[in-house]
Structure 1
Amino acid sequence: MKKVGIILLCVFIVATFSYYKYDTTDFSGEWDFEGTDTDFSLTIIQNGTAISGTHCSVLYGGKKIDCSIDESDPPSVTGTASDDDSVIVIFKSTVADKVGQATIKRISATQITWNITQEPEGEYFIPKSATLTKQ
């Protein structure tokens, strides 16, 4: 009987840690990056593990713009959160009208990183990497 109790306790502990391992971080919010020649923002909505949102990138004082801000347009950023601090997203450049892939990683409650892992074909004006701050 004592062995059964120990086994049940072990199963409970493993199940508890497994639950917390797959509990995903909420990436929802307005995220901004301001660089010397680049302003980049992401608006992210997370529902469970589903990620959707829009991007806006303005380069060279407004000479190059890649934005998806019309609410009637489909989301320009979509993905599925699979662990507690990062998500792989597909994004669509409004300039090239092509998709690419990026990783968004949470580095703190107020900062995320954006890194393009697969560039869209053609011309686009979205930074390859940026650290964004939650607004």
Structure 2
Amino acid sequence: MLIARDGSWRINTVVKGFVQNVSGFASSYSGPGDILLIGKNKKDMQLAFERMKEIGGGIILVEDQQILHEIPLPLIGRMSNLEMNELIHLEKKMIALLKERGYKYDDPAFTLYFFSATHLPFIG
């Protein structure tokens, strides 16, 4: 699901090929600042969304009602205030966790930006 940052609209869809098994995933990391929710479990998706809001934005991975990992992005939901070395460590851990769940590419951050690209054609 892609949700407008101000809540004025949402798009529900099925995503194939991102990961095979993600229970709950939320991200405010997008070009326009919209919110992305991905998952197979509504409660885990909701927990990821609530945690993302609580920390002021970020990328959150949830499984079995437990937060597995998060990358806080409190600066307009798209940027970090962490030291670069710490941010790199958090990103590498997120990539490893996503790969364990079936992500087969190299850069999830780029994928997240692609999901929210408004220049893509609408598929109805």
TM-score (norm. length: structure 1): 0.31
Larger Rg: 1
Give the structure with the larger strand fraction: 1
Larger helix fraction of residues: 2
Q: Which has the higher contact order (CA 8 A, sep 6+)?
A: 2
